[in-house]
Chain A
Amino acid sequence: MEELLDAIRALGRFPLLVLRLLGDFGIFFGKAVFWTFTPPLKFERLLKQINFIGTKSLSIIALTGGFTGMVLALETFYAMQKFGAEALLGPTVALSMIRELGPVISALMITARAGSALTAEIGIMRITEQIDALEVMALNPFRYLIVPNLLAGLITFPLLTSVFDVVGIYGGYLVGVKLLGVSAGTYFGEMKNYIDMAEVVHGLYKSLSFGVVVTWICCYCGFTTGYGAEGVSKATTRAVVASSVMVLVCDYILTSLLF
């Protein structure tokens, strides 16, 4: 009888653990939102994080954006050539970049470059009692650590995505126009006919959402890190994996809602 009860208890333990984790995660976000709207805002820290997440990710975003556009143009050109629709190369590259690849790949790249560092930084602050020190000084750690990161994510993700889109479209131009012989007028002219502002706005919604999701997950994992170097390493891995998965899940949900 006791064994059966143990088995039932073990069965219930997992969903309880998941529920508790989700609850913690939600409360963490609630606190972050509360402190975002509670002045004063730590403006200097916000600028530092915008520089860290945004400016320092520019080169990797430009590089990946360029190559994504180039390979997209190459693949699309050969596919379209089969039914004589090469003229639609420009709008196809632009639509794919703006609607899908721009927000998603830039979010994944920022997660890898800045998200992991955010988790590690906050995690190390946690295990070396720097966060406790803030609390003992009667200073709220959400105001100093979480809010600037969340806001920096909101500001930088759409900007970096825009850079990714523009560089990607020019990467497609290089391959399509300079390498494969599509005329420049056709490449850009058709783009104007097929893309309206709504596409850009939807891409913007996506990158804003990814900005919140990635910084939320990375900050949470750092803030709740386990003990020692192993704890920080596990938290960083968890943050990158969870952020990447959530970017793809959110992408599907947003795509089905927006388009």
Chain B
Amino acid sequence: MIEAKNLHKTLGGHKVLDGVSFKVEKGEMLALIGKSGVGKSVTLKHIVGLMKPDAGRVFVDGKDILEAKGRSLEQLRSKFGYLFQGGALFDSMTVFDNVAFPLKEKKKLNHQEIRERVLFELEQVGLAGMEKKFPAELSGGMRKRASLARCLVSDPEIMLFDEPTTGLDPLTANTINELILKTYERVRFTGIVVSHEIPGIFSLVHKVAMLYEGKIVAYGTPEEIMEVDNPIVRRFIEAGIEQGRRKRGVREL
């Protein structure tokens, strides 16, 4: 279970988070939506302790990750998988070595076991046969899939997805979304997805939180969010729906 309590953060004189609070229950998927630069990725980085807030706390399974140090921080972080926006694959390593890296470093497995696990995960994300490629040789979608395989190989209890489909064509974006859903069905992790993809992302999650001017302005199930009267939320959702329509329109021409 993840709980963010009253997070405040100022970056370069600009108040990015202004009392952000939300809760994600075990096995639940939450979508964090909001326009660009509103602090969604910053919030995600606070959840895993990559950034420290000016004020506020983050609890992961009841333990404050921002207070944790040494072994206890290591234990908390071991629960996480984090799909970064750009994939964050180690560019000096092949796809195989990237996916094998957490296993080699964290688990006591022999060479054969590591190989089997890596090949299994690569097959799951549709990258079988790509293990000898370097990240620079992969497309954006493939890099995200390889990164997802690297996250999943260490069986995370919590998955954080930072704009998993941004910058991808609609087909690849659908593939990634299906992959997330398929993986969720298989692993049943607790998850937070940062996304712009409205309303597409709603089918992937149990709850939605909308961030606006450093605050959560709407929180609820996707159905509840679609019915919200708040004009800021309405405008954002309608813009997302309109964009989806326009994309379809162009494709149909």
List which B74-109 residues lie within 8 A (CB) of chain A.
74-75, 77-78, 80-82, 84-86, 88-91, 101-102, 105-106
A27 smallest CB distance to B (angstroms): 15
Q: Is the CB of B106 within 8 A of A135?
A: no
Cα–Cα distance between A27 and B170 once the two chains are bound (Å): 46
Q: How far is the CA of A231 from the CA of B142 in the complex (A)?
A: 27
The reply on A5 being an interface residue by CB < 8 A is: no
A137:B88 contact, CB within 8 angstroms:
no
Contact A133 B84 (CB under 8 A): yes
If the complex has contacts A130-B91, A133-B88, are A138 and B78 also in contact, measured as CB distance less than 8 A?
yes
Give the one of B45, B77, B88 with max A CB within 10 A. Answer: B88
B52 to chain A, nearest CB (A): 13
Indicate if B50 sits at the interface (CB-CB under 8 A): yes
**Which residues of A (147-184) have their CB < 8 Å from a CB of B?**
none
A137 to B154, CA, bound (A): 9
Given contacts A135-B50, A137-B102, A139-B105, contact A129 B80 (CB under 8 A): no
State in angstroms the CA–CA spacing of A139 and B103 once bound together: 12
Q: Which of A118-156 contact B (CB under 8 A)?
A: 124-125, 128-130, 132-133, 135-139
Residues from chain B with Cβ under 8 Å of A129 in the complex: 84-86, 88
Is B48 close to A, CB under 8 A?
A: yes
The reply to whether B50 and A138 contact each other, CB–CB distance below 8 Å, is no
B106 touches A136 (CB 8 A): no
Determine whether the beta carbon of A136 is less than 8 Å from that of B91: no
* Nearest opposing residue in chain B for A121, CB measure: B92
B50 and A132: CB pair below 8 A?
A: yes
Band of interface residues on A: 10 to 19
Nearest-neighbour CB distance to chain A for B207, whole angstroms, equals 23
Q: Which chain B residue shows the least CB distance to A132?
A: B50
State the CA gap A129–B120 with chains docked (Å): 26
CA distance A137 to B86 in the complex (A): 16
Q: Which of A124, A128, A136, A139 contacts B82 (CB 8 A)?
A: A136
Query: Which residues in chain B, 176-209, are within 8 Å of chain A measured between CB atoms?
Result: none
**Within the complex, what minimum Cβ distance (angstroms) separates B63 from chain A?**
14
Q: What A residues does B154 contact at CB under 8 A?
A: 137
Complex interface: chain B residues within 8 A of A137 (CB): 77, 101-102, 105-106, 154
Q: Is there an interface contact between B50 and A128, defined as CB atoms closer than 8 Å?
A: no
Q: Are A130 and B88 in contact (CB under 8 A)?
A: yes
**Docked complex Cα distance between A130 and B91 (Å):** 9
B81: A residues at CB distance < 8 A: 136
Q: Which of A128, A130, A133, A138 contacts B74 (CB 8 A)?
A: A138
Closest Cβ neighbor of A138 among chain B residues = B77
CA distance A135 to B77 in the complex (A): 8
Q: Interface of A with B (CB < 8 Å)?
A: 124-125, 128-130, 132-133, 135-139
- Extra inter-chain contacts (5) besides given A130-B90, A132-B88, A133-B84, CB under 8 Å: A130-B91, A135-B77, A136-B50, A137-B102, A138-B77
Interface residues, chain B, with chain A CB atoms under 8 Å away: 45, 48, 50, 73-75, 77-78, 80-82, 84-86, 88-91, 101-102, 105-106, 154
6 residue pairs, one from A and one from B, having the closest CB atoms: A138-B77, A133-B88, A129-B88, A136-B82, A138-B74, A129-B84
* 21 A-B residue pairs with CB within 8 Å: A125-B90, A128-B86, A128-B91, A129-B84, A129-B88, A130-B88, A130-B89, A130-B90, A132-B45, A132-B82, A132-B84, A133-B84, A133-B88, A136-B48, A136-B80, A137-B101, A137-B102, A137-B105, A138-B73, A138-B77, A138-B106
